[in-house]
Amino acid sequence: MVRIIDYKQHETAVGKTFYSLILQGGIAMVKSKETGMYYATSHNASITSTFDEATCKSLIGNEMPGSVAKVNCTPFEYVVPNTGEVLMLESRWVYQPEEVSHEQAVFEGHTEKPITQDSF
């Protein structure tokens, strides 16, 4: 499960406003490279939305099925806000919807292709 913890306003190149939802994944245990000790953390991801600001605000605290996962991407520069340090990153955290089993898809009507005898 992920929890909606915030939202952020953005503007397109043509000046249109839209909002993204900030999602927080579950607890993760990470081992410190410096001390070798474990600490608890969680990872955040952002997804764009078609919602207005009032709707985004009302969604804070809601949970959705899925997780926040680390995926590889084209390398990009990231500036650490507190220190100004520039890092080269090759991965990012993204929202991954919960996988739907074949049985769930059939019984909940989420199948995209017709079910045939070969499906079983």
Residues 56 and 62: their CA atoms lie apart, in Å, by: 10
Q: What is the pLDDT of residue 91?
A: 93
Structural domain boundaries, residue 90: 2-119
Tokens of 114: 């017709």
**Among positive and negative, which fits the CA dihedral 99, 103, 105, 107?**
negative
Model confidence, pTM: 0.73
CA dihedral 1, 92, 18, 67 (to 10 degrees): -10
Helix, strand or coil for residue 58?
Answer: helix
**Into how many domains does the chain fold?**
1
Strands (E), the chain: 2-11, 17-24, 28-31, 38-41, 44-48, 63-64, 67-79, 86-96
For the stretch 68-110, pLDDT in tens is: 999 999 999 999 888 999 999 999 999 999 865 556 555 555 4
Residues 103 and 110: their CA atoms lie apart, in Å, by: 10
Cβ(5)–Cβ(44) under 8 Å? yes
Average pLDDT over residues 13-35: 94
Q: What is the pLDDT of residue 116?
A: 43
Q: What is the pLDDT of residue 2?
A: 96
Average pLDDT over residues 57-75: 95
